[in-house]
Amino acid sequence: MKTTAGVLLVLAFAFISRGQTGNADAILGEWVTTNGKARVEIFRRGGEYCGKINWLREPEKEGKPVVDDKNPDERLRAQPVLGLEILHGFSFDGENLWTGGRIYDPENGNDYSARMTMTDSVTVELRGYVLLPMFGRTETWKRYGSP
Protein backbone atom coordinates (compact mmCIF):
# COMPACT_ATOMS: atom_id res chain seq x y z
CA MET A 1 0.00 0.00 0.00
CA LYS A 2 2.80 2.44 0.91
CA THR A 3 4.60 1.62 -2.34
CA THR A 4 1.53 2.42 -4.44
CA ALA A 5 1.06 5.77 -2.70
CA GLY A 6 4.75 6.59 -3.19
CA VAL A 7 4.61 5.73 -6.90
CA LEU A 8 1.50 7.88 -7.35
CA LEU A 9 3.17 10.77 -5.56
CA VAL A 10 6.26 10.54 -7.79
CA LEU A 11 4.10 10.35 -10.93
CA ALA A 12 2.03 13.34 -9.83
CA PHE A 13 5.18 15.39 -9.15
CA ALA A 14 6.64 14.42 -12.54
CA PHE A 15 3.42 15.43 -14.30
CA ILE A 16 3.31 18.81 -12.54
CA SER A 17 6.98 19.51 -13.30
CA ARG A 18 6.54 18.59 -16.93
CA GLY A 19 3.48 20.84 -17.16
CA GLN A 20 5.42 23.83 -15.83
CA THR A 21 8.18 23.31 -18.37
CA GLY A 22 5.61 23.24 -21.18
CA ASN A 23 4.00 26.44 -19.92
CA ALA A 24 7.41 28.08 -19.69
CA ASP A 25 7.95 27.74 -23.42
CA ALA A 26 4.49 29.11 -24.27
CA ILE A 27 6.09 32.56 -24.47
CA LEU A 28 8.42 31.52 -27.31
CA GLY A 29 7.73 33.02 -30.72
CA GLU A 30 7.31 36.33 -32.45
CA TRP A 31 5.36 39.18 -30.85
CA VAL A 32 4.10 42.49 -32.26
CA THR A 33 4.72 45.46 -29.98
CA THR A 34 1.85 47.66 -28.78
CA ASN A 35 2.38 50.35 -31.39
CA GLY A 36 3.08 47.87 -34.20
CA LYS A 37 6.47 49.46 -34.90
CA ALA A 38 8.41 46.26 -34.24
CA ARG A 39 8.26 42.51 -33.88
CA VAL A 40 10.24 40.84 -31.12
CA GLU A 41 11.27 37.20 -31.19
CA ILE A 42 11.29 35.66 -27.72
CA PHE A 43 13.66 32.71 -27.43
CA ARG A 44 15.29 30.62 -24.75
CA ARG A 45 19.03 30.75 -24.15
CA GLY A 46 20.13 28.29 -21.54
CA GLY A 47 17.74 28.67 -18.63
CA GLU A 48 16.60 32.20 -19.42
CA TYR A 49 14.18 33.83 -21.83
CA CYS A 50 15.38 36.66 -24.06
CA GLY A 51 14.04 38.67 -26.97
CA LYS A 52 15.42 40.50 -29.98
CA ILE A 53 13.95 42.88 -32.53
CA ASN A 54 13.66 40.96 -35.79
CA TRP A 55 11.44 43.34 -37.80
CA LEU A 56 10.90 47.11 -37.88
CA ARG A 57 8.13 48.96 -39.70
CA GLU A 58 10.72 51.62 -40.54
CA PRO A 59 14.12 49.86 -40.61
CA GLU A 60 15.85 52.82 -42.25
CA LYS A 61 16.21 56.52 -41.52
CA GLU A 62 17.50 58.76 -44.29
CA GLY A 63 18.47 55.69 -46.32
CA LYS A 64 20.55 54.09 -43.53
CA PRO A 65 19.67 51.38 -40.99
CA VAL A 66 18.12 52.72 -37.78
CA VAL A 67 20.78 52.59 -35.06
CA ASP A 68 20.70 52.56 -31.27
CA ASP A 69 21.67 56.25 -31.10
CA LYS A 70 20.24 56.82 -27.62
CA ASN A 71 22.29 54.05 -25.99
CA PRO A 72 24.04 55.38 -22.86
CA ASP A 73 27.19 53.53 -23.97
CA GLU A 74 28.63 55.67 -26.76
CA ARG A 75 30.43 52.65 -28.25
CA LEU A 76 27.06 50.97 -28.93
CA ARG A 77 25.29 53.90 -30.58
CA ALA A 78 26.16 52.76 -34.09
CA GLN A 79 24.71 49.25 -33.69
CA PRO A 80 21.57 48.57 -35.73
CA VAL A 81 18.28 48.33 -33.85
CA LEU A 82 17.24 45.47 -36.12
CA GLY A 83 18.61 42.37 -34.39
CA LEU A 84 19.09 44.18 -31.07
CA GLU A 85 18.43 42.06 -27.97
CA ILE A 86 16.03 44.07 -25.81
CA LEU A 87 14.79 41.37 -23.40
CA HIS A 88 17.08 39.29 -21.21
CA GLY A 89 17.26 37.41 -17.95
CA PHE A 90 13.64 36.25 -17.63
CA SER A 91 12.81 33.10 -15.67
CA PHE A 92 9.55 31.20 -15.68
CA ASP A 93 7.82 31.80 -12.35
CA GLY A 94 4.81 29.54 -12.88
CA GLU A 95 1.29 30.11 -14.16
CA ASN A 96 2.04 32.24 -17.22
CA LEU A 97 4.47 34.58 -15.45
CA TRP A 98 8.12 35.32 -16.33
CA THR A 99 10.06 37.50 -13.89
CA GLY A 100 13.54 38.74 -13.03
CA GLY A 101 14.21 40.10 -16.49
CA ARG A 102 15.21 43.40 -18.01
CA ILE A 103 13.91 45.31 -21.01
CA TYR A 104 15.90 47.87 -22.97
CA ASP A 105 14.03 50.64 -24.80
CA PRO A 106 16.06 51.83 -27.80
CA GLU A 107 13.72 54.81 -28.25
CA ASN A 108 15.05 56.42 -25.06
CA GLY A 109 18.15 54.37 -24.17
CA ASN A 110 16.75 53.27 -20.81
CA ASP A 111 16.90 49.79 -19.28
CA TYR A 112 14.14 48.64 -16.91
CA SER A 113 13.33 45.72 -14.65
CA ALA A 114 10.50 43.76 -16.22
CA ARG A 115 8.06 40.91 -15.99
CA MET A 116 5.85 39.25 -18.59
CA THR A 117 2.42 37.72 -18.13
CA MET A 118 0.62 35.73 -20.81
CA THR A 119 -3.07 36.50 -20.46
CA ASP A 120 -3.97 34.03 -23.24
CA SER A 121 -2.15 32.15 -26.01
CA VAL A 122 -1.86 35.25 -28.22
CA THR A 123 -1.43 38.07 -25.66
CA VAL A 124 1.44 38.98 -23.39
CA GLU A 125 1.51 41.92 -20.99
CA LEU A 126 5.02 43.21 -20.50
CA ARG A 127 5.57 45.51 -17.54
CA GLY A 128 8.73 47.58 -17.36
CA TYR A 129 9.45 49.37 -14.10
CA VAL A 130 11.92 51.14 -11.87
CA LEU A 131 12.35 49.72 -8.34
CA LEU A 132 8.83 48.30 -7.95
CA PRO A 133 6.27 47.09 -10.53
CA MET A 134 3.84 49.75 -9.31
CA PHE A 135 6.25 52.37 -10.73
CA GLY A 136 6.10 51.30 -14.33
CA ARG A 137 4.22 50.92 -17.57
CA THR A 138 2.53 47.92 -19.14
CA GLU A 139 2.46 47.19 -22.85
CA THR A 140 0.29 44.56 -24.48
CA TRP A 141 1.93 42.56 -27.24
CA LYS A 142 0.12 40.22 -29.62
CA ARG A 143 1.52 37.05 -31.12
CA TYR A 144 2.51 37.68 -34.72
CA GLY A 145 -0.03 36.18 -37.12
CA SER A 146 -2.85 36.10 -34.56
CA PRO A 147 -6.16 37.80 -35.39
Question: For the segment 101-147, what is each residue's pLDDT rounded down to a tens digit?
Answer: 999 999 999 999 999 999 999 999 999 999 888 889 999 999 999 87
Domain boundaries 2-143, corresponding CATH code: 2.40.128.520
16-42 average pLDDT score: 83
Between 74 and 146, the more confident residue is 74
Kindly report each contact of residues 51-54 with a partner whose C-beta sits within 8 Å and lies 24 or more positions away, as own/partner. 51/85, 51/86, 51/87, 51/88, 52/83, 52/84, 52/85, 52/86, 52/87, 53/81, 53/82, 53/83, 53/84, 53/86, 53/106, 54/30, 54/82, 54/83
Domain boundaries along the sequence of the chain: 2-143
Share of the chain above pLDDT 70, in %: 85
pTM, rounded to two decimals: 0.83
Give me the chain's average pLDDT, please. Answer: 88
